[in-house]
Amino acid sequence: MRTDSERARRAKKRKKAIHYLVCSVIAVIMLFPFYWMFTTSLKTYGNVMKFPPQWWPDPITLDNFIQLFSRHNFLRYLWNSFYIAALVSIGVVIVSSLAGYAFAKMRFKGSNVLFLIILSGMMMPIEVTIIPLFIALSDLNLANSHFGLIIQPIFGYCGAFGTFLMRQFFITVPTELIEAGKIDGASHLRIFRKIVLPLASSTIATLVIFTFLQSWNDYLMPLVLLNDSRTYTLPLGLKLFASEMGVEWNLVMAGATFSTLPMLIVFFFAQRKFMESLAMAGLKG
C-alpha cells in the first residue's frame, strides 16, 4: 500500500518534470529570435559573417546603435510613432466612449440602426479604403503629414471597435446611478464625465492598449503616405533602413532592437493586462 502511493507520487513528480521540460523548450524557441536579434545588434560586421556563428558577441560594440542616431534619425521616428499612437488612443477613447454611452443608456430614434452602421466600420479596414483616402489627402496637401495616420484609425476600425467595446461595458452600469445624477440636476455631459467614465477605467485601458498597438504597428498607411524621412514612423523608418543596409545585419538588428524595445518594456511591466486586453479584443474585434 505504501509502495503504491510512493509509486503514484513518483509518477506524478515525473509528469511534472516532463511538463516543465516541454514548457521550457517552448519558451527557449519563442525567445531565441529575440536573443539573436539583440546579440547580433552588439556584434561587429565581421563577426556577424563568421562561421561557426558567435553565440555571444565578442567584442561587444555599441557602434551599431550610435549609427542609428548619428547617420539616421531613429529618435525622430520613435517620437513620431509615439505621439501619433498617443493622439490616436486619446481620440478613440473620447469619440467611442461618447458614442458607446449614448448607444447603451440614451433613447433616441434609430439608435439600433445607427449602432449597426457605425459597427460596420469594422468591415472597412484601411486596406480597402486607402486608395480614395490617399487621393483625397493628396488633393488637400495632407499626404506627407501625420494627419491621415491620426484621423483614420479614430474613425475607422479602432473607433468602430471602441464604440462596440464601450457600449458593452456601459450596458452593465446600473441605470439608477444615472437617474440619481439627473435628479441632482447634473447635465448629461457632467454625469458622463463625473460618474460614468471613472467606472469604465478598466475597459478604457483595454481600448488604449489595443488602439496604441494598432497605431504603433501600422505600416501600410505610412508607407503609402509619407515620403519625407522627417515624418517617418518606426516601422517605415526601419523597413527603409533595412533595405538600405542590405546584409549589414548588425545595423539592421540594432534598428530592430531599438524599434521594438519600448513596447516590450511596457509589456513586461503590465503583462497580465496586455494579455487580457488583447485576447478580449482578439475575440471581439
Partner 1 sequence: MKSKSKLFDKEQLWGYSFISPMLIGFIVISLLPIIATIVISLTNWAMLNNDVKFIGFENYMKLFNDPLFYKVAKNTFLFTLLLIPSNLVLTLGLASLLRDNFKGVGFFRTAVFTPVVTTVVVWGILWKYIFQTDNGLVNTLLSMINLQGPQWLYNANLAIPVAVFVTLVKGLGLNTVIFIGAMKDVPTMYYEASEIDGASKMRQFFSITLPSIAPSIFLVTIITMIGSLKVFAQIDTLTGGGPGTSSFVFVYYIYQQAFKYYNFGYASAISAVLFCLIVILTIIQWKLRKRWVYHEN
The amino acid present at 31, given as its one-letter code, is L
**Interacting residue with partner 1 among 45, 47, 125, 186 (CB under 8 A):** 125
The amino acid present at 166, given as its one-letter code, is M
54 binds partner 1 (CB under 8 A): no
37 binds partner 1 (CB under 8 A): yes
Residue length, the chain?
Answer: 285
**Interacting residue with partner 1 among 89, 152, 203, 215 (CB under 8 A):** 152
Nearer to partner 1, 86 or 98 (CB): 98
36 binds partner 1 (CB under 8 A): yes
Q: What cell numbers appear for 192 in the block?
A: 458622463
Residues 201-220 touching partner 1, rule: CB under 8 A, are 213, 216-217, 219-220
Burial class (CB within 10 angstroms; exposed 0-12, middle 13-18, buried 19+) of 57: middle
* Residue pair 214/158 in contact by the 8 Å Cβ criterion: yes
Give the range of 5-13, 64-72, 122-130, 196-204 binding partner 1 by CB under 8 A: 122-130
103 binds partner 1 (CB under 8 A): yes
**Interacting residue with partner 1 among 90, 195, 205, 224 (CB under 8 A):** 224
For the chain, give me the number of helices (H) and strands (E)? Answer: 16, 0
151 binds partner 1 (CB under 8 A): yes
Q: What is the closest distance, in whole angstroms, from the C-beta atom of residue 12 to partner 1 in the complex?
A: 12
- Burial letters 239-263, b for 16+ CB under 10 A, else e: bebbeebeebbbbbbbbbbbbbeeb
